[in-house]
Structure 1
């Protein structure tokens, strides 16, 4: 029975494009996080509220290093998603969740920016969790 297929190939979908988009969004999100961290480390007076007005009252330098660290990890996960690595999808989902939570806590300091980052995190989590395997 040559020429017949026992397992028909699944029809291609558009979801791998969304996962590649998520990989790119992880890179952008990591860049945003890094920029937010660098600003928090360098210029405390840039933000809309003092550090006392934040949900967790710590110095902006601590927030800066937190955001900068998240940014570096997010960028690494973004590159891993492009190569179809399972660890990168898992790390991407975790870091996007942590990033959304961290930005929710940082919301009083920079409301518009944090809202954009939270929305991006939700999109990244959805596409990596539901359609992440389709990239391979």
Structure 2
């Protein structure tokens, strides 16, 4: 039997009320985490710029940079992540899309940073992974 204009088809919700509340809450939490990760990045950056003795010295490492260079990388990335986190908390769509990209960049940078400060790097990688998941899963404002 064909569906006519008066025959109801399969139930489809145009209301986005069926979204996962964990994902929606996760987006807010992702904004907070990006803001905090940005602050941590600024702290890591300032520490690296202020003194070459703050972080471990690495010999024969593929991604070996001067600690001051790593400091500037973390400082700049931290400032940008903080701005993106603030934008997500403010509900800006540009911040959600940019947040996924920059969290992925931060994840890769922290992976390369791993030998210098393993605990900081692993915590940052975990934060970035959650942020990417939360921003990709919550589609409530994207499809509304």
TM above 0.5, yes or no, is: yes
Task: Give how far 1:75 is off.
Answer: 0.6
Question: Which position in structure 1 is the counterpart of 2:25?
Answer: 17
Give the alignment partner of residue 85 of structure 2, picking from 78, 81, 84: 78
Question: Which position in structure 2 is the counterpart of 1:123?
Answer: 130
Give TM-score, length-normalised by structure 2.
0.80
Q: How many residues were matched structurally? A: 130
Do the aligned partners of residues 56 and 16 (structure 1) sit closer, same or farther apart at CA in structure 2, a change above 3 Å counting? same
Does residue 67 (structure 1) correspond to residue 65 (structure 2)? The answer is no
Does residue 39 (structure 1) correspond to residue 47 (structure 2)? The answer is yes
CA contact (8 A) 1:93 1:125 kept: yes
Task: Give how far 1:56 is off.
Answer: 1.6
Question: Which position in structure 2 is the counterpart of 1:95?
Answer: 102
Structure 2 gap segments, 5+ residues each: 1-12
Which structure 1 residue ranges, 4+ long, deviate > 3 Å from structure 2?
6-9, 52-55, 132-136
Greater shift, 71-80 or 56-65, is seen at 56-65
